[in-house]
Structure 1
Amino acid sequence: MSTHRLREVDLNLLVIFKDIMETRNISATARRLNMSQPAASNALARLRATVGDELLVRSGQTMQPTQVAELIAQDVADGMALLQAALSRRETFDPAHDARRFVIAMTDVGEVYFMPRLLAYCSRHAPNVRLEVSYESGTELRNGLQVGQIDLALGPHEDMSDTLLQLRLFKQHCVSLFRASHPFASQPPTSLAKYRDARHLFVSNPASPYIEIQNRMEKAGVRMSAHDQVSSFLTAPFVVATSDYVVTVPLKLAEQFAGPLALRSIRPPIRLPELETHCFWHRRSLADPALAWLRGVIVELFAERAAGHVSAKP
């Protein structure tokens, strides 16, 4: 589309196009945007004339996108997100008085570790700031950061896009966790053979890098059984607190539960990879003072000294 034609485009048409791509129904879009159905249909007709393509064609009760519509849909969504961010951008952010909603992606384990201190900090220093947690991962997480639906991501993600910036917060090793009356508490295993003989509980988390930890343990001869698995790291400490199971988890998770559940821990006699936790954000948010403030708070509260520096995702 030439610059001359771009001047002729009503941006409201793109809002309607984006919504119809989501609903696949003109009537539903009209209701969501508080407009009449004829007005929504007319807007689609005007956009068709501008683009020179049908964009969406009726198929039964729904509208199906053409190839051109599929090609431009993500660009339209990204452009609208950037425009909205530009229009709402402020030169300064005063945490003591300004209101802002932040969406931070993290795992359930990350929520246990990060949120208590973040919420306590905001309660004291930023009373109008609202923090929300997203559990998105993989493609959904990358897309959320790309379009601005997610502000930051915290975790050991290894599949992030090159368009993201990252700052390493800390590294941690894994420990084997067990109840205080477990035989390991009085006689820690002095050999791999004794460690293998224990009854191990596993967390069926397929995400990298956790899967690599399980692979290393399996190669070392630690038995893995479908009967000895739980689906969440948060469940595991409660299981070992009332049984003779041993579970291998990240150190910071173990520290969260060791005191309340009277648990003990040892370093497993297996060489396991260390976990690196990073803060990720999109390049386009660099000029957002509110997000710069939040990143600073996260670094202040959680980053180890000289833990890392801001860099592009390698």
Structure 2
Amino acid sequence: MELKDVDLNLLVVFEHLLRERTVSGAARTLNLSQPAVSNALARLRRMFDDELFVRSSKGMLPTPLAQDLAEPVAYALESLQVALSQKVSFDPLRSERSFRIAMTDIGEVHFIPRLMGALRERAPGVAVATVRNTAVDLASEMSLGKIDLAVGPLPELGSEFFQRRLFRQRYVCMFRPGHALDKRTVSRSDFEGAEHVVVTAAGTGHARVDEILAQRGVQRKIRLRVPHFAALADIVASTDLVATVTETFARRSAAYFGLRHIPHPIDLPEIQINLFWHARYHRDPANQWLRNEFVGLFSD
């Protein structure tokens, strides 16, 4: 097959079928009829002599050949789009775009209030949706443009991603006022003697803390495990349980729940929070604008 034999419009349909996994979804996003998309898929199948997509209970799944074609086709179309759109800019004051950002629930606590406050003034029509990075194939979703940015310690995002450090922070020990640890000096034995609540945030950088404590032989009396940070401050405020959390989370919990925190009695490494975006969207004006908002609001 030679390039002159390829209809560019068919490749556009191919990429949308990869994203949507249904003919109806691709037709809707392309503003075409379903028969038109079905006809394009039939032509694609003849052109590549492959089914490309097969029906399943989870939608139309790509064949191995379609998976092999996904990245080069995406890069080719994105490069062409960038070349054709060099003079196109992003106007946040007029835009009604919806951005999707991957972050943890503790990330939502730290980033979303300030971000939405800024957008209210600078981009009143822009909407934001958050998604858990552990709930999706993050690298794939970002490469396809389904997720615009990701925030956190995400070592699994490889060389096809750009990243920018936002800030570093330390871990602290958080508890209610009047707790036995609420004193000037807390030893390792004091820490081990307390009862603990642990957030089992698998797939996040915070899970690394539990690994480090275990490696150092720290023996905690874990009375409660929860899957997220959402209720952690409420739990700590109404019990004698102790939590190991980031300092930014502890400060916010102190402001809203009156909780106390101290430097952690175990020497834990600081955690670095980075902003990630896929190389395909490095020059995309909308993505650039949102990245600049994050850096301006949260970078140290």
Under a length normalisation based on structure 1, what TM-score does the superposition of the two structures give? 0.80
Question: Quick one: structure 1 residues 49 and 17, their matched pair in 2 at CA, closer, same or farther if it must change by over 3 Å?
Answer: farther
Q: From the superposition, tell whether residues 136 and 86 of structure 1 become closer, same or farther in structure 2 (CA, over 3 Å).
A: farther
Instruction: Tell me the residue number matched to 1:241.
Output: 237
1-side partners of 2:93 and 2:53: how far apart?
47
103, 106, 111: which one aligns with 1:106: 103
Give the one of 115, 133, 136 matched to 1:136. Answer: 133
* Aligned residue type for 1:281: W
Distance 2:65 2:145 in 1: 24
Tell me how far apart the structure 2 counterparts of residues 267 and 77 of structure 1 sit (CA, whole Å): 48
**Aligned counterpart, 2:227:** 231
Matches within 5 A, 1:5-44: 5-6=5-6, 9=7, 11-12=9-10, 15=13, 19=17, 23=21, 35=33, 42-44=39-41
Q: CA deviation at 1:291?
A: 2.4
1:51 paired with 2:31, answer no
Letter in 1 for 2:194: A
**Residues 21-65 of structure 1 deviation map (CA, whole Å, 9 limit, x = unaligned):** 9657x799789976465x655444432332233545789xx9776
1:216 is the counterpart of 2:212: yes
1:3 maps to a residue whose letter is: L
Structure 1 residue 234, shift from structure 2 partner: 2.4
Counterpart of 1:106, as a letter, is M
C-alpha displacement at 1:288, in angstroms? 2.4
Whichever of the two has the greater Rg, that structure is 1
Q: What is residue 275 of structure 1 aligned with on the other side?
A: 271
Instruction: Give the 3-state SS of the residue equivalent to 1:154 in structure 2.
Output: strand
Query: CA 1:57–1:188 in 2, change beyond 3 Å: closer, same or farther?
Result: closer
Aligned-pair identity (%): 36
Question: CA distance change for structure 1 residues 85 and 137 in 2, over 3 Å: closer, same or farther?
Answer: farther
Structure 1 residues 5 and 193, CA gap change in structure 2 (3 angstroms): same
User: Which of 281, 285, 288 pairs up with 2:284?
Assistant: 288
- Does the Cα contact within 8 Å between 1:78 and 1:146 map onto a contact in 2? no
Report deviation, 1:217. Answer: 2.3
Q: 1:155 to 1:268 in 2, by over 3 A?
A: same
Q: Aligned-pair distance for 1:124?
A: 1.5
Unmatched tracts of structure 1, length 5 or more: 305-314
Aligned length: 297
Q: Deviations over 1:283-309 (max 9, x none)?
A: 2323223322222221121111xxxxx
Aligned residue in 2 for 1:174 = 171
Check conservation: 1:18, 1:77, Cα contact below 8 A: no
Match of 2:254 among 240, 254, 258: 258
User: TM-score by structure 2 length?
Assistant: 0.83
CA RMSD of aligned residues (A): 3.3
Partner residue in 2 for 1:3: 3
Structure 2 unpaired stretches of 5+ = none
Aligned AA for 1:115? I
